[in-house]
Amino acid sequence: MSVPTAEGPGDPHRTPARRALVAGSVGNFIEWYEFGAYGYFATVFAANFFGGGTGDGTESLIKTYASFALAFFFRPMGAALFGRIGDRFGRRPALVLALLLMTGSTTAIGLLPTYATLGAAAPWMLTSVRVLQGLSAGGEFGGAVSLMTESAPQGRRGLYGAWQSFTVALGLLAGAGLAAGAAAVLGERALYDWGWRVPFLLALPLGLVALWLRLRLDETPAFRRTSRTGTGPRGSPAAPGEAFRSVVTGIGRIMGWSAAGYTFLVVLPAYLQNTLGATFQEALTAAVLANVGFALTILPAGVLSDRVGRRPVMLTGAGLVVLLAFPLLWTVRSGSTPTVAKGLVVLLAGAVVGLMAGPGPAMLAEMFPTRVRCTGSGLAYSLANAVFAGCAGLIITELVKHTGSADIPAYYTAVTCAISAVALLTLRGDDHRRALRD
């Protein structure tokens, strides 16, 4: 049975669209599985690579998050490099190269010697590998989202784009689940000694499966069409000024998603341990619940955005974070709140972020023409994540240390989402109905 695409008559078979969806999603899963694992093992890395076992635990955690943030600041370089490859030579080669780099660098983390073995060189080696991961992760988003949205059937671009965010949730859940499982089975001593390596070594077989899927990909109809016409129907590349404004606007629209997502989904475990005295197991359980809530709302939010538009769904998510950030944090922090209630609150926090993450990829894809979509959407996403997600752990930990205020995560998420809400008001209400621009 024929399935029309958002660009016209499209491919007469369902298989290419589904294959694009699976191949695009699986790379995102691996990327965020690894980034999540690093965040969930932040206290383990602090002890093993940054001297946390012999010095100030907070200082070591700050150094761990500094390494985490540094990788994010290489993401824009990766977005520019792999985005250029994707826009000029095709989505497939860009996604294959990004996957190879991500798989190799992630596996390498599981093989690195620790501070006890190598001394001061150990954190530098870890940070160097993180830089390679940042480059590959920067190229992943633009290529994957371009592939998914350009392959989407008519009226389902929001849903197809939402799969990018959904596999982010699955990756974070897998990282948290493996970390929690390892802690339960091995105990904290074995986990700190060697068990932390296992989740990173698993990236190798996962990466090989993803590589097989991506090597079977066809190029999207939109890319093939613009390749035949050179620069598209309008006959000239996008003006640099217009592209720059679109990237800046995109950053504003998703900065709240980036900040709240990382704060609630990744930074929360270390915050609960370091600031509130929770055990490793308790902190990871909270992370799993937050990511379950996140996963539950992403695809429904993408579907809803195909019906009512990206703007109302994403505005609802940003507005709810502004309203609920402080009550959510106070509930989690309260000693008198029942454990079940705390679990539901953490679940709700993740669900609210999913309202922004579901329509977000399609919204960014719709902002850029096909000939610069990989680069433009990748730069907007990676720059927003570098500043507001990659630095979330570092900013929150430093501010809590210097101010003594346990409310810092609420301030951070509320302010960034308020700014995003203003930027989202500039979205046109009918963007979800328009064809992607060439």
CA distance 311 to 178: 36
Residue type, 36: G
29's enclosing H/E stretch is: helix 14-40
CATH level 3 topology of 14-424: Growth Hormone; Chain: A; (1.20.1250)
What value, to the nearest 5°, has the Cα angle with vertex 417 and ends 415 and 420?
Answer: 115
**Could you tell me the residue ranges of all domains in the chain?**
14-424
Residues 6+ apart with CB under 8 A from 425: 311, 315
Length of the chain: 438
Strand partners, 342: none
pTM: 0.85
The two counts, helices (H) then strands (E), for the chain are 20, 0
Alpha-helical segments (H) within 334-359 = 339-357
Q: Report the SS3 class of residue 6.
A: coil
Rounded-to-integer distance, Cα 140 and Cα 72, Å = 13
Q: Is 142 exposed, middle or buried (0-12, 13-18, 19+ CB in 10 A)?
A: buried
Q: Which two tokens stand for residue 157?
A: 């671009």
Quote the tokens at residue 423.
């930027």
In tens digits, the chain (438 residues) has pLDDT values of 333 444 444 444 457 788 889 888 887 888 778 777 777 777 788 888 887 555 555 677 777 777 777 877 899 999 999 999 999 999 999 999 999 998 999 899 999 998 888 888 888 898 899 899 889 989 999 999 999 999 998 899 999 999 999 998 898 788 878 877 887 888 878 888 898 898 889 889 988 998 998 998 888 988 988 877 655 444 444 566 788 899 999 999 999 999 999 888 877 766 777 667 777 777 778 878 888 999 999 999 999 999 999 999 999 999 999 999 999 888 888 777 787 888 888 899 999 999 999 999 999 999 999 999 999 999 999 999 888 987 887 788 788 888 988 899 999 999 999 999 999 999 998 889 998 988
Q: Contact at 8 Å (CB) between 397 and 272?
A: no
Cα first-last separation, the chain: 27
Helix axes 203-215, 14-40, angle to 10 degrees: 160
Q: Cα dist. 361→143, 354, 377, 381 in Å? A: 11, 12, 8, 9
133: nearest Cα among 174, 75, 179, 67? 75
Q: Vertex 26, ends 22 and 30: CA angle to 5°?
A: 175
Which of 22, 421, 75 shows the shortest CA–CA distance to 255? 421
Contact yes or no for 221/11 (Cβ under 8 A): yes
Encoded tokens for 293: 């809530």
Paired strand residues for 153: 5
Q: List the alpha helices (DSSP H) in 191-279.
A: 197-201, 203-215, 221-229, 240-262, 268-274
Q: How far apart are CA 40 and CA 280, in angstroms?
A: 9
